[in-house]
Structures are given as C-alpha cells and as structure tokens.
Chain A
Amino acid sequence: MVKGENGLWVLRSWLTRSKLPAMVALIFSCGSAIIGFTALGTGHHIPIYQLLFLMLGTSFLASGICSFRRGAKNKRKIIHLLAFGLIELIIAFSASYAPSTIDLWGLNAAPYSNFLFSFGAVLFGLIGVSLAIGPLYDFSPFGNQKSAYLLLIIAILIVLYPLAIIIGQVVINGAPGITWEFLTEDVRNLGQEGGIFPAIVGTLLLMLLIFFIAIPLGIGCAIYLEEYASGRFSFIVRIIKTSVTILRGVPSIVFGLFAFAFFVPLFGPSFLTGGLTLSCYALPTIIRASGEALKSVPQNLREGSYALGATKWQTIRRVVLPSALPGIITGAVLGIGEAAGETAPLLFIGTFTGVSFPPSLFDRVQALPLHLYTLFGMRGAWDVMQNAWAAAFVLLLIILVMNAIGLFIREKYRREF
C-alpha cells in the first residue's frame, strides 16, 4: 500500500468487495433456469450447458469471496455460495471429459444426456436464484425476504406457464375454424364437415340438468351435515363426510362404468342418464364447497338469530344460507364446470347422434367433450383436426364464460355485504 499504488489498491479493493459477482450470479441463474425449462418443454437443446455452468461456478465463487471481504457475518451462507460455485465448476469440467456414451448402470445414457443437462440447468438455476440474492443484501433478513418473494413469483409463473401454453395453443389452432356455420350446423360426414351445434346444445342442456339435480341435493346434504347432525349422529356424519371425500377421488371413468351398469338399464342411453351421471360426479365437489361455506359462517350470527326467537330452519334460511352464498355459488360453478367438461363419465352411455331441441328426458344427447374425443379418434382416417381444435376452443369458451358468471354473481353478493 505504497502511495503510488493507491489507485490500483482502491480498484482492487472495490473489485473484491463489490456486489457485481452476486448480480451476475443472479442473472445467470435465472437464465439457466429459463433455458433449461424451455429446452425441456420444447425439445430444442442448445449446447451451451457447459459454458453456462462455467459462468455460474465462477460467479458464485466470486460472490462468495466478495461477501467474505465485505465482512459478512453469516459464514455458513458464504460457505454455501463457495460450495455451490465449486460444484458447478466441477460439473462444467467433468462434462467435457465425459464420453458421449456414459455407462449408467449398464444403460446407454446418450439420449438422456440432453435431458439431464437441461434438467440440471433448471435445478441449479433455481437453487442459484435462491442463493444469489443473499449476498446482494449482505444476508440480511430483508434479503431473505426478497429471495423468498422471488421464488414465490417463480412458482406462480411455473404454474401459469402451462396454462398459458394450453390456452394459447387452443386459441391459435381453434380460432380459424370458428365460423357461424360451424356453430349452428349439424354434424355432417362424421365430423369432417358441418358444425357442432348439437354438441354445444347438449353440453348446455347437461349443465342445466346438473344444476337442477346436483345443486339442491348437494346443498341440502351440506346443510344437513353441518347444521343438523348433532351429537347423537356425529358418527354417521363422519361416515358420510369420509364417503364424500373418497367419492371425490374416484376416477371419472369409474363413474362412466357405474352409469352404464346402473342408469342405462333404467333410462337407456339418454339425456337423463347423462345428467344423472354428471350430477354424481359433481356432487362431492358441491357438497364439500357448500359445507366449507356453511362452516365459515360465524357461530355468533346463528346465536344472534336464536336469541331473537328464530327456529333452526329459520336461522338457516334467513341468515346462514345468505351468508354462505358466495362460497356455495363458487362450489356450484366449480362443480358444474368440472362435470360439464368431463368425457369419461359419458363414454359408455353412447350419446353420439344429433339432438333435437328440446329433447325429452329420454332422448339421446350429444356433448362437446365427447364429440371432441370421437373427432380425435378419427384423425388418422379423416381430416378432422381443424374441427377438433375448434370444438376445444368452444368448450373452453363455455367453461370460461360460466366461471365468469359465477364469479360475477359471487362478487355481487359479496359486495353487498
């Protein structure tokens, strides 16, 4: 530290204390995660993994050293940084020495190497993101908070990403096929030409039937379970609640089988059968959601009502149900939406032909998901993919509109009180 070398010393001291490496580490970690993710998703692999790991390793090591020089007190975290950087460097170097065919327990690993690398990029990228923010804030609790926040945002993005892709693909592929004729004409030529009007009508009608069957039954059941079943019957209540929970887990195709065995002999392959089957499918959701909504009504509201001389049923009808309405509506919308979009329960009922409107309860009825399924089944033989995408688009639209209506009603009730 001679006077003449002052400038260099300042530069060196600034370099070894700066937060720059941490910033670089963060950016590269994000980049690594994104590249890996996209590679996994789209199947395109860019052979830059080695370079990536090299950059990551050095930047983490550097940030560890800089944090140490800055006098950070959390030695453990610094060790994490250094170790992480070291591991990445080791991977980077070992990758160049690994032969293209790695004998992994006797299996030829070459086809998997790309997958492994992109997966590794994602994994290390995410870990790196969580580690890299710390030094930027000198390991303060504020830094930890930022780090946690960032990870949560990443989690949300990971969840929304597939949703965006699905909706995107449906819209892009399906929109061109939507024409007025498509929407209003009957099926022709086994789906190659013509429209999907019967399917649309059928789905809407089925939703209506579910509304009239499942909702009263579901809400009634929930009311009984939450409000009436008293001490003596609590054992029965527990059995019923457990059964409902189990029912929710039953695969939808089993419902279809049940319908085939039970409803079809009674009512034939008809509108009623379809509605009943889907109602059974929707019931557990509706019961559960309504039950939760009823439970969330505070007990002191009920007590207030009783104290004014109301009977139990009056209390339920006038106070509890209106208060629980937002939750119940949400449950109803969810339940109907789920059921209307299901294919498997209707598979064995064989609703395939066009529908006359309005159908009687015993007429056959078409449904959009089912139509989509049959169209897809024919894709090898006939050119129906355009119509299939378009049908999917319409189905998605119906579900979205229904959810929007449900949300609107719920918000209206909620805002009032």
Chain B
Amino acid sequence: MAAKIMVKDLSLWYDGKQALKDVTMDIPEKRVTAIIGPSGCGKSTFIRCLNRMNDIVRGCRVKGKVTIDGESIYQNNADVVKLRKKVGMVFQKPNPFPFSIYDNVAYGCRVAGMNNKKTLKEVVERSLKKAALYEEVRDRLGDSAMSLSGGQQQRLCIARTLAIEPEIILMDEPCSALDPIATAKIEVLIRELREEYTVIIVTHNMQQAARVSDYTAYLYIGKLIEYGITRQIFENPKEENTEKYITGRFG
C-alpha cells in the first residue's frame, strides 16, 4: 500500500521553542491513522503541518520534508490554497460560519469558483449525506448553522470539508467537545470515511483511538516514540514509554 504522506525529519519551532523533533513517518492511503500522546506533546502541531495551517501562526519555523503524493508541500512555489483543498481539516471545537447550513457546506465550493446553482445543490446534498447529517436537516437547510447542537455542528463541519472533495482529512480531537452519543455517531462516520479518504485523527482518548484507527502513532514531547498497527500498539507496545502512557502510568 502506497504511503500517501511521507514525513521526514520534521522539526518545528514556535518562537524559538522546539515543538517537534525530527518526526519521521509514512502515513498510508485510505486508512485511519491516530496520533496519541500526552497534552502538549505536539499532536495538533504535527497535523497542522500537513496542511500548512501553522503558516498562520507568527514566529513559527519549520524544517524537514513533508511529501504528499510525491510532492513536497513546503517547497518555495508550493500552492498553499491548492494544498488545503486536498487536505481538509476538522477542528476540535466546531466552528461553523454564522451563515445558513446550506451556505456553510457550499462555502468551500463557492470559494473555489463553483457557482452553478444546480451543481452546488447536489454537492451540498451529497456531502451532508456522507456526513450522516442530511436526514436531520433536509427541511431546514436555510436555517442558521448556529441553531444546531454541538454534535450536529461538528458533522456540519465535516460535511463542509467533504464538499471540497479532499483526499486527506485531518481531525484535531473532533469529539472532545461532544457528548457520548454525538461522539459515537462521529466515530461510526470516521470508519465509513476510511473507504474513500485518508484520515488522520488526533485524540487524547485511547479507547477511541483503539476503536477507530488502523494505525497509531505515539508522540511524546515532540518526538515520535512508536508507530505501528493499532492492535499491536494497544495490546503489546514495543517501547516502555508507550506502555507507560497507554496503561496510564503517566500523562
């Protein structure tokens, strides 16, 4: 199976303080990869490198190579906008725009220049269906997105990301602000998305990582300690550090 994303010796500094140290790993295509580790170990920082969201943060310096489909994304003339259409992102706290549900999902397409009403409607419907939200909102697409519950808002954000048809979906602790029922729905969704997309999910909930992912990477203070098949990591990890974290002896 080809590696969709190849990360080599990735290091990152925020205002001189090093947040990632020489992280190297290959992320396979059309699988779910979970990133786990104690708080502040660089999990979110790491995935934000994959769609260059760290560019927005002031004082951020990046070294190393990140290759997606064979192309390095940090090279000088890289098209960041195009990258972000290929690599979508769902954030920890749902952040729908203060527009209608329809406009939220259509946002990415409109921004990309798609204006045909019929096409947009199809895309919106399809994305909402994929995000398992369509049935709940089909009668009120014109309502404000802010009137949805937390779990629905998060699924809306996922639909919004799916609408631009990315190949890779990054999820930064997508369920941490949600109740258990909403969390369960999104976990089911993630398992379904795996068939079409490469999913990378950051989570501090190890049971969730075990339930949802095929591969797991364990990061500790900016370093990649262990990376392997999820079952193996949670049943019998190779590194002592990993074992300690997973069994809760620290962090």
Cβ-defined contact, A306 with B160, below 8 A:
no
- How large, as a class, is the contact surface on chain A? 20 to 34
Cβ-defined contact, B82 with A309, below 8 A:
yes
Cβ-defined contact, B91 with A323, below 8 A:
no
Interface of A is mostly: helix
A304 at interface by CB-CB < 8 Å: yes
Cβ-defined contact, A417 with B146, below 8 A:
yes
A322 at interface by CB-CB < 8 Å: yes
B51 at interface by CB-CB < 8 Å: yes
The number of A-B residue pairs with CB atoms under 8 Å apart is 70
B99 at interface by CB-CB < 8 Å: yes
Residues of chain B in range 204-237 having any CB-CB distance to chain A below 8 Å: none
Cβ-defined contact, A417 with B51, below 8 A:
no
Residues of chain A in range 286-316 having any CB-CB distance to chain B below 8 Å: 298, 300-311, 314
Cβ-defined contact, A309 with B58, below 8 A:
no
B98 at interface by CB-CB < 8 Å: yes
Expressed in whole angstroms, the minimum distance between the Cβ of B227 and any Cβ of chain A is: 25
Return chain A residues, CB-CB under 8 Å to B161.
307-308
A141 at interface by CB-CB < 8 Å: no
Expressed in whole angstroms, the minimum distance between the Cβ of A305 and any Cβ of chain B is: 7
A231 at interface by CB-CB < 8 Å: yes
Residue of B82, B95, B111, B164 touching A300 (CB-CB under 8 A): B95
Expressed in whole angstroms, the minimum distance between the Cβ of B139 and any Cβ of chain A is: 19
Return chain B residues, CB-CB under 8 Å to A417.
98-99, 144, 146
Expressed in whole angstroms, the minimum distance between the Cβ of A5 and any Cβ of chain B is: 70
Cβ-defined contact, B98 with A305, below 8 A:
no
One digit per residue, 1 when the CB lies within 8 angstroms of any chain A CB and 0 when it does not, for chain B 49-79 equals 0010100101100000000000000000000
Cβ-defined contact, B108 with A308, below 8 A:
yes
Residue of B56, B58, B93, B111 touching A308 (CB-CB under 8 A): B111
Cβ-defined contact, A309 with B98, below 8 A:
no
Given contacts A314-B111, A318-B107, A416-B144, contact A305 B85 (CB under 8 A): no
Cβ-defined contact, A308 with B91, below 8 A:
no
Cβ-defined contact, B164 with A306, below 8 A:
no
Please report the C-alpha to C-alpha distance between residue A311 and residue B83 in the assembled complex, in whole angstroms: 12
Expressed in whole angstroms, the minimum distance between the Cβ of A302 and any Cβ of chain B is: 8
Return chain A residues, CB-CB under 8 Å to B59.
231
Please report the C-alpha to C-alpha distance between residue A309 and residue B88 in the assembled complex, in whole angstroms: 8
One digit per residue, 1 when the CB lies within 8 angstroms of any chain B CB and 0 when it does not, for chain A 136-157 equals 0000000000000000000000
One digit per residue, 1 when the CB lies within 8 angstroms of any chain A CB and 0 when it does not, for chain B 102-119 equals 000001101110000000
Residue of A298, A301, A306 touching B53 (CB-CB under 8 A): A306
Please report the C-alpha to C-alpha distance between residue A302 and residue B93 in the assembled complex, in whole angstroms: 13
Return chain B residues, CB-CB under 8 Å to A416.
144
Chain B residue nearest in CB terms to A414: B98
Return chain A residues, CB-CB under 8 Å to B93.
300
Cβ-defined contact, A303 with B53, below 8 A:
yes
Residue of A301, A302, A309 touching B164 (CB-CB under 8 A): A309
Residue of A230, A301, A309 touching B97 (CB-CB under 8 A): A301
B89 at interface by CB-CB < 8 Å: yes
Residues of B within 8 A of A (CB): 51, 53, 56, 58-59, 81-82, 84-85, 88-89, 91, 93, 95-99, 107-108, 110-112, 144, 146, 157, 160-161, 164
